[in-house]
């Protein structure tokens, strides 16, 4: 028989195994949710894509031209364990037809290799699956003398075929899916998002588990930092969760940090900041009827993440706080970030929480924490929550524009500059020009008091804080006399 020209591609989606062991009602709901998610996601790629639901799989047929895009999207969709690509041939009613067709499409795969044929059958044919395997295998062996022969165990090539009534599916490729539950089946969560390695991986793991993940960002560093976090949040959503709309909430936290420095003892600043973030996140979650929060904290990774300090932090909220990275080490987290594509974002993202920790306590006292908490002016936190701005994640891409980079000066001999050391603490850079000491958390109020006919260079240890705060003042106040000083080493 003539080889049939294939103009469409068939995908067979196998479900995450934990779905299959659920009760009948729960399993049906999850499969229906996955089907709905796939129709929404794949319909954006190929409007002509068709879908069929079965008790143990979903089949998708798309145009050949969209195969690569659809394959990738299927591999990134929660709820899918295995993605199989198949050639679909209809009206296969005899073993003779089947053996010829399979050989036509698969003979190149077995050249110089051992092979075996595995078949599954559904319907009322007058032959069994073993008959398909024997007939197809024998025919291919006879027709392809260059093969190394049939090997029933540990063959180099396995040819998988499925016969569903008179429809033959020849499995050409098999890929691992994301696993997990279909997005939308496990409720909503609010992720405390800094944009670094930990918070992005924590968010990813929630999405992978089928949890609709919203983002809250506590802005400590101005416009540039916010845009960076929005970029990675959008990336995560677009890659793993775009079947559902979720929110990105920005909370202005600069004044909260300033109040911490005014009211809180140095060793308790880091724990206090985390407590205030949870308090704010709880209020925002309550307003949106979200039951749980997620953070990227890992036990003992930093001083605020010892068991005692995590307990002190959690005392301020009644919300369930999930920490999926609790027992993971940093190399594992970084490896996962590289795998899912968020590493390039995280490496450029500052971790502000660590910036305000000086001589941090590692085993905080409950009594001391209560005393420290009473010194804080909570009207500042109230105002920050009131001024929170919510945007749907799919709309943030319209806000992510090229904001440019503040010009960097490496050599002070080329101009009349004043260097502002924005690091916290008393240390101030020594250089051959005028220097000022204004910690980053005071820049917002103090910079406007300076003579504006001068050229200022912001300085910090790594150049990240200075870059972000310079960008923030330029964006918000339209200053034109700010650059960053990064001396050559």
Binding site residue list:
192-193, 274, 296, 305
Catalytic residue among 62, 431, 433, 460: 460
d(CA 340, CA 41): 19
The residues pairing with 149 across neighbouring beta strands, listed in sequence order, are 114
> Could you identify the residue written with the tokens 């000066």?
409
CA distance 386 to 377: 15
Q: Report whether 324 contacts 202 (CB < 8 A).
A: yes
161 with 98: CB under 8 angstroms? yes
Cβ-Cβ contacts under 8 Å for 68 (sequence gap 6 or more) = none
Token pair in block for residue 219: 């802005």
Is 469:453 a contact under the CB 8 Å cutoff? Answer: no
Contact by Cβ (8 Å): 190, 317: no
Question: Is residue 171 within a helix (H) or strand (E), and if so which, with residue range?
Answer: strand 167-179
Q: What angle do CA 345, 350, 355 make, to 5 degrees?
A: 160
Say which residue the tokens 């319907």 belong to.
Answer: 123
Active site residue 428: no
**CA R_g for the chain:** 29
Q: Which residues are annotated as a binding site for ATP?
A: 192-193, 274, 296, 305
Q: Which two tokens stand for residue 378?
A: 């909570």
- Residue closest to 139 by CA, chosen among 169, 117, 164: 117
How many angstroms separate the CA atoms of 220 and 251, rounded?
9
CB 285 within 8 A of CB 249: no
SS3 of residue 361 by DSSP: coil
Residues near 187 by beta carbon (within 8 Å), at least 6 away in sequence: 211, 212, 291, 292
Q: What are phi and psi of 3, to 5 degrees?
A: -70, 135
Tell me how long the chain is: 489
CA distances for 157 relative to 31, 102, 149, 154, 232, angstroms: 32, 14, 11, 9, 40
Residue 394 CA to residue 233 CA, distance in Å, equals 10
Give the Cβ contact number of residue 407 at 10 Å: 10
CA–CA separation, 464 and 431 (whole Å)? 20
Residues labelled as active-site residues: 460
């Amino acid at each position: 028989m003539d080889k049939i020209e294939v103009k469409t591609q068939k995908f067979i989606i196998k479900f995450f195994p934990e779905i299959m062991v659920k009760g009948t009602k729960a399993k049906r709901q999850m499969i229906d949710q996955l089907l709905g998610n796939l129709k929404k996601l794949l319909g954006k790629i190929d409007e002509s894509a068709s879908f069929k639901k079965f008790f143990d799989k979903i089949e998708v047929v798309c145009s050949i031209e969209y195969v690569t895009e659809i394959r990738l999207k299927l591999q990134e969709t929660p709820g899918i364990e295995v993605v199989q690509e198949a050639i679909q041939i209809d009206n296969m009613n005899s073993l003779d037809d089947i053996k010829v067709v399979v050989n036509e499409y698969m003979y190149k795969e077995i050249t110089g290799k051992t092979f075996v044929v595995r078949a599954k059958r559904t319907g009322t044919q007058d032959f069994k699956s073993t008959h398909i395997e024997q007939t197809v295998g024998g025919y291919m062996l006879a027709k392809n003398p260059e093969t190394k022969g049939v090997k029933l165990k540990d063959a180099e090539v396995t040819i998988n075929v499925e016969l569903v009534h008179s429809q033959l599916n020849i499995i050409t490729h098999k890929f691992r899916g994301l696993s997990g539950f279909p997005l939308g089946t496990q409720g909503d969560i609010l992720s405390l998002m800094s944009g670094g390695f930990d918070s992005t991986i924590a968010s990813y793991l929630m999405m992978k588990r089928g949890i609709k993940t919203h983002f809250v960002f506590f802005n400590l560093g101005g416009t540039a930092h916010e845009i960076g976090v929005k970029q990675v949040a959008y990336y995560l959503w677009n890659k793993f969760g775009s079947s559902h709309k979720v929110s990105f909430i920005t909370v202005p936290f600069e004044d909260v940090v300033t109040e911490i420095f005014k009211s809180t003892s140095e060793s308790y600043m880091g724990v206090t900041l985390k407590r205030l973030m949870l308090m704010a996140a709880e209020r925002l979650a309550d307003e949106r009827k979200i039951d749980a929060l997620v953070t990227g904290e890992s036990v003992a990774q930093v001083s605020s993440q010892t068991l005692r300090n995590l307990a002190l932090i959690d005392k301020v909220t009644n919300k369930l706080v999930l920490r999926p990275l609790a027992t993971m080490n940093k190399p594992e987290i970084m490896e996962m970030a590289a795998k899912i594509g968020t590493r390039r974002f995280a490496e450029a993202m500052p971790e502000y929480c660590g910036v305000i920790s000086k001589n941090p306590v590692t085993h905080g006292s409950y009594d001391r924490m209560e005393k420290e908490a009473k010194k804080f002016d909570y009207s500042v936190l109230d105002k920050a929550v009131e001024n929170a701005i919510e945007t749907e994640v799919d709309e943030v891409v319209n806000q992510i524009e090229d904001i440019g980079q503040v010009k960097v000066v490496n050599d002070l001999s080329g101009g009349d500059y004043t260097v502002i050391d924005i690091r916290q603490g008393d240390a101030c850079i020594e250089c051959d020009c005028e220097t000022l000491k204004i910690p980053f958390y005071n820049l917002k109020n103090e910079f406007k008091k300076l003579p504006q006919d001068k050229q200022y260079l912001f300085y910090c240890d790594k150049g990240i804080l200075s870059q972000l705060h310079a960008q923030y003042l330029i964006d918000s106040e339209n200053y034109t006399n700010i650059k960053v000083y990064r001396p050559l080493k």
